Structure 1
């Protein structure tokens, strides 16, 4: 109960967001002067983590600006490595992660920002996260308050992101020129950061949490690798089984074809034997040698048909054979 009213003497803040979201200019607004470089380009000005400190209402405030998420000039691994440096720069750890989004521009990549934060810092990171909307001057164009804008203009994915961060959000008008109003919006942010600190018992995101997150990431990585290996093994087994089945089918077709060929050969052998038997029966012992030449180009009929043809007509040929004898019979097709 006592810890719920804790107010720390100094605040440690990490700025995280997509290139062009107004991350660096928001850091400058908190500090009260232009410490971080910022412009309107879509190329990240911040390449490495940068730390600066100032004072707000007499309290020391330390701010670390991180490289733009999804910066095309840096790999995700390089961005994550730089983001992780903020832990050592803000030892013993940051009190809050400010996830910076631009009013009216919520890209598919920005929908994944919280997942990237949790991937780098673990699930506990969302308990330390506040969404900071920039370009608050656009709310005047819509004629809406921040709450009304979220309710009426944000899609479900944006609302889910806000909900996952405990509905903690704030807005900066980066074009505000009035010093007092600029100070009021910074003071409002500091109050919400204090609420986060109290909700976390006065603690901050620590190296121990980071180590736990890294252990969880390693465990998850191993699990994914194992799943990938099992998936590849399963696919290999499926391919081997499919290959085996195809080989069996091919072998079966070859055996069936072989059996069919043997059957055809056997039928032709039987037909030939039948033809020889018929010839011997009708002409023996008058014939010493009979050679039958089958010209398949001229007689495209099966042997059995030839046998019937010869047997049927032999009674007509027999007298001539008995008179003069023969050396060969030639069967030809009439032209």
Structure 2
């Protein structure tokens, strides 16, 4: 709980000290006597279209809370009821009326906690009856005279500077006024004028500013003690983180070393792979060449097989011719034998008749004639009947 209060008070204190151009949240309380003009002023300040009006209105009793984002700023507006001025118009009962309205006015203030950046009094006619200044007086009765430093008159129509300078409400607000127009530049100028007032103690009005400063001082001391303790803890954590960082760096160095070794191994593996690829290509080349040689051998084998078949057929033919020659040989031999036998018989007949007729003829070579007779063939015929060569 204390931490949440500390955070809230630090936020409020920082917001109170912010320069006007950097304020991201703006809070306004709008007062007046004309319901139409007040609604028009609220819608113009919030830059609301008709589609967004229903979504942004929140009732707070007799006050209405509206909010929207305008040029990156979160703007909140509290629209006060118009009957306040009716209760204040009778001067005789002014103090009593203020006391009866105090709770309502404080409630409207609480709707924009921690306080509005400005109280905007809406006027439609610069030549008014002068009764609207009662609202400013009531504000000073409830919140103190300092509230007038945060008050501004908001005119809905343009007037001459001479008429505006005579207006009692403008004089009561120390000549602070703004002529409101329905465009973004005019609205942004209103934001700047409503927060850039030099005599203010803070950028927004709060009844408890001194209390806020005291709370800030108290929480600052508590925060400083907590900060020192937290800083010590963080320093210890930082030392541990540095140690862990050094360990991580050592691990990273080792990992980088291992990585470089892995890179070298990978390079070696790539070189081996390239070498294996070259060897594989050489093997494939030799394989292709061997396949070509094998195909040529198969082709030659087929050709030789065909030649062998042809030779076998030729051999078969030669065998048949050989058989025919042998038959012819046998027939020739048989014929020669028969012829020789006839000749022998004829020779025997002739020899017998010659011996009887030629007693005184020359003697015949008995050895050669016996050899011829013994063989039964003459030398010329023996050469004819020899066997032919084997094929």
Superposition TM-score, scaled by structure 1 size: 0.46
Larger radius of gyration: 2
Whichever structure has more helix as a proportion of its residues is 2
* Greater RCO, CA 8 A, separation 6+: 1
Superposition TM-score, scaled by structure 2 size: 0.40
